[in-house]
A and B are shown apart, each in its own frame.
Chain A
Amino acid sequence: MIARTTTPLRIGVASFAHTHAVAYVRNLLALPGVEVLTTDPDHGDRPGESGGAAMARDLGADYVETLDELLAWEPDGVVVCSENARHRPYVERAAAAGAHVLCEKPLATSVADAEAMVAACAEVGAHLMVAFPVRFSPAFAALRERVADGALGELCAVTGTNNGQLPAGRAWFADPALAGGGAMTDHTVHVADLMDALLGGAEPRSVYAQSNQVLHAGRAGAETAGLVSIAYDGGVVVTVDCSWSKPDDYPTWGGLTLQVVGSDGVADLDAFTQRVDGFSQPRRSPLWLPYGTDLDGLLVAEFVDALRTGRAPQPDGAVGVRTTRIVEAAYASARRGHPVDIVSA
C-alpha cells in the first residue's frame, strides 16, 4: 500500500497533449500546499501545436523533459493528459513509480487497456481517478440529490447531449490511431459518467450506435457525429448525442444537457448554460460570457483532497472501465448496424 505523504503535496502533470492540461496546471498552481512539476515528452509528435517547455513557461510551471525525470521527483500524484491511446503506458508507469493517478477521460481506447490500468493501479495500491469534470457541476449535484431522495420517482429514461466544436489546436483528436475514434470517443463518456453516478454504477447491458462524417468532412479522420443508445441493468434507457455539431464560429465550445424522466417528474440539466449573452459587432458574432462554477478546479481539488486525506477519489477507474465498455460496444454496433450486448467481467 502506498502511504507516502509529503508536505507539501507533489503533483506531476504528464503530457500537454490534451488541452485540459492547461486548466489542471492552473488550478494546481493555485492550490495552497501543492508543488507542481510538468513534462510533455511527446510534444515533438505535434508539430506546429503548443507544448513542451514553452507551454510550461507560459503556465508558470516547472518542467522536465522526460517522464522518468518527473517520476524521479517522487510525486504523490500524477495527472495524465496524453493522447487517449497513450493513457495506459503513462498511467502504468506513474503507478509503478508509487504515484496515485488522475487520468484524462476517456480512461482508455479499449476495455482491455482500461481493465489493465485499473489492475495495475490496484496491484500497487495506487488510486486511479478519471477526469469527468461535469460530475462536479453544482447543478448536477443537485439533480443527483433529487434523484436520490426520490423526487423524480423511479428513473426510466434519459436524453443526453454533449455537443461541441471540432476540437481545435490538437490534430490528434480526429486521428483514430491516437484518439481511439472521433466524437463518439470524445463525448459519449461524459454523459455515461453522469448516468453511472445517477444509477449508482449500474452496468450498461446493451448498446446501439450510429455515426457519420457529414460535419467537418475532410478535416477529421473519424466520425464527427453519433448517437449512442444504452440500456442499463434495471431497465433505464439512455440516448446520447455525442456529436461535434457546434459550428466553428459558435460563441462557446459546446455544452452538456440531460433530460431525466422518472415516474414522478422530469428534470432538465443544462450544465454550461449560465452566461451573459450579447453580440460583438467587430467580431460579427454572438457573445457567450460564461460565469458558472469552474468544474476543473473542483475536479483537481477532489484529487488533491483525496490524496491528503488518504481516501479513494471519485470518479474512479471502475467508472472509467464501465464507460469505456459503452464506447467500445458503440463502435461495434455502428459497424454491424445492430445492438451489441455487453457482458461485463
Chain B
Amino acid sequence: MKKNINLKVNGEEHLVSVDAKDRLLDVIRDKIGLTGTKEGCSTGECGACTVLLDGQSVNACLYLAIRAEGKDILTIEGLGDPTHLHPLQQAFIHTAAVQCGFCAPGMLLSAKALLDKNPNPSEQEIREGIAGNLCRCTGYVKIVQAIQLAAAMLQDGQSRPDYQGKQHDTGAHA
C-alpha cells in the first residue's frame, strides 16, 4: 500500500512515496538520503536511530513513516552544519566525547531533547536523559561532561568550541 505524503524534515518539506510498512528510519535514510540517522538494534533499545518528532525524542525504528505526516522531524543533519555547529556538537568535539561516532547522532538529539526541557540538568538527570542511547566506546563519562559543557555554553549564550566559561570544569568530577 503506497501513499504520497509530505514529511517536514529539518524545516524542509519532502514529498515522498511511502509504503505502509516503511519505518520513519527507512524513509529518512533511503528516500530522503539523510544517513546521519543510524540503524542499530532495530528494536528500540540502542537509540542510534533517535530523531525528534515535534521536539520529542523517539526511536525512528519503532515509528511508521506514514504516522509522521504533519509532524516536525529533526535529524542530526538539522542540528547544525559544519560552519555553524550546535553548542552540543562543539562541546562533544571539545570534550572528545566521540570515538567511533555511531551513537553520536542519536546521543546528540537525546541531549538536545533533554536540554530543551531542562537547561541545567544534574549529572543524574543527564544519565537518565541518555539512558536510551547505548555507547560502546566512551563509557559515557566524556559524553556526560560534554552535555554539562553544552548546558553551560547555552546558558551563558556562548557557542565557541574553545569556551572556557565558569562552569567548564564541572564535568571533571563526573
Q: Do A and B come from one complex?
A: no
